Amino acid sequence: MAASLRALRRRIRSTQSTKKIFSAQELIAGARIVRAQARVEASKPYAREITRVLSALASSASLDHPLLTERQNPKRAAVLVITSDRGFAGSYNVNVLRRTEELLSLLRQEGKEPVLYVVGRKGETYYSFRDREMAQTFTGFSEQPRYEDAQAVGSALIDVFTAGIDDEDGGAGADGVLGVDELHIVFTEFRSLLSQVPVAKRMAPLEVEEVEEFDYEREDREHGVTTGDSGVPTSYEFEPSAEGLLDALLPKYVTTRIYAAMLEAAASESASRRRAMKSASDNAEELAKNLSRQANQARQAEITQEISEIVGGADALVSSNAGD
């Protein structure tokens, strides 16, 4: 009995100290969400401007840039997966990886060979544990991605995409480098503090996407700008040529989208971590409560037993004295 009481007390102590760790993690993640959301917001003006410029360009230039044209008979597709570096984030990584698996099997069904590019240590371990080949991995920045990180990823992907232009029948083309014909990205979209959804998107060949059209218009209204004349396309002058500009802009646009995805993923990561840590510390508290109830019971049982032993002993003494 005494041993089990000691064991219970030890468990209570260890539960309480893990609970401290969980709630510290929860607080850290909470602070990080706010910062990550601020960074998502801060990156929006650029994304909006580059989209505006690109759509202006798209209306004037002939769009036969390799990043825009659909390849005939695509054979290989690069898939960029954004996971976290650290665990303790609930189902965050599992969800992204499951979404990735769906995309991979879809690509295989379409007769395309997927090539994996992984961001984050968790994704890296997941695939290396399963002996799956990864073309390249990028780690160490999942919680606070910088633009340079997105650039490194973006240039690797654009390189392999351009290398795929001359590939024929699954073999390397004239440049001797086996490239890819499509670029996909899987990341976790930050919808709100409570809902983060893993999404898969195609980045290349790309369609120029309107960045939050709704906010766009509202902002115009707030600034008192009338959008009455927006129906008429303005004819731009280009320096250098429209094609030259497109060459320079498109890779930047792809990088911007990767950067935006990374920022969203970072915000989602912190949000899921906070949620996971919140339920973990709640559970730890519950556990500690149950354990201390058990410990109290054990303590009372011990006392009762001791008393009954004493009483029993006294009785025995009395009866033995009476027998004399």
Partner 1 sequence: MATLQVELVAVERKIWSGEAERVIARTTEGELGVLPGHAPLLGQLADGGVVTIRVAGGEDVVVAAHGGFLSVSDKGVSILAETAEISTEIDVERAREALRRAESEGDDPESIAAARRAQSRLQAAGASATA
Residue ranges in contact with partner 1 by CB under 8 A: 39, 42-43, 45-46, 49-50, 52-53, 56-57, 146-147, 151, 225, 229, 234-240, 242, 244-245, 248-249, 252, 256, 259
Least gap, CB of 143 to partner 1 (angstroms) = 16
Nearer to partner 1, 64 or 237 (CB): 237
Least gap, CB of 164 to partner 1 (angstroms) = 23
Least gap, CB of 140 to partner 1 (angstroms) = 18
Least gap, CB of 162 to partner 1 (angstroms) = 16
Nearer to partner 1, 84 or 256 (CB): 256
How many Å apart are CA 138 and CA 153, to the nearest integer?
7
Max intra-chain CA distance, the chain: 124
Residue type, 238: F
Nearer to partner 1, 174 or 232 (CB): 232
Preceding amide of 66 cis, omega within 30: no
Nearer to partner 1, 137 or 151 (CB): 151
Q: Say if residue 62 is exposed, middle or buried (CB neighbours under 10 Å; 0-12, 13-18, 19+).
A: exposed
- Nearest in space to 149 (alpha carbons), one of 220, 85, 57, 73: 85
- Nearest in space to 119 (alpha carbons), one of 267, 272, 273, 265: 265
Strands, sheet with 196-204, edge to edge from the N-terminal-most edge strand? 136-138, 113-119, 76-82, 182-190, 196-204
Q: Spell out where 1-112 has E strands.
A: 76-82
Nearer to partner 1, 109 or 234 (CB): 234
Residues 317, 318, 323: CA angle, nearest 5 degrees: 95
Least gap, CB of 179 to partner 1 (angstroms) = 21
Least gap, CB of 110 to partner 1 (angstroms) = 34
Nearer to partner 1, 5 or 249 (CB): 249
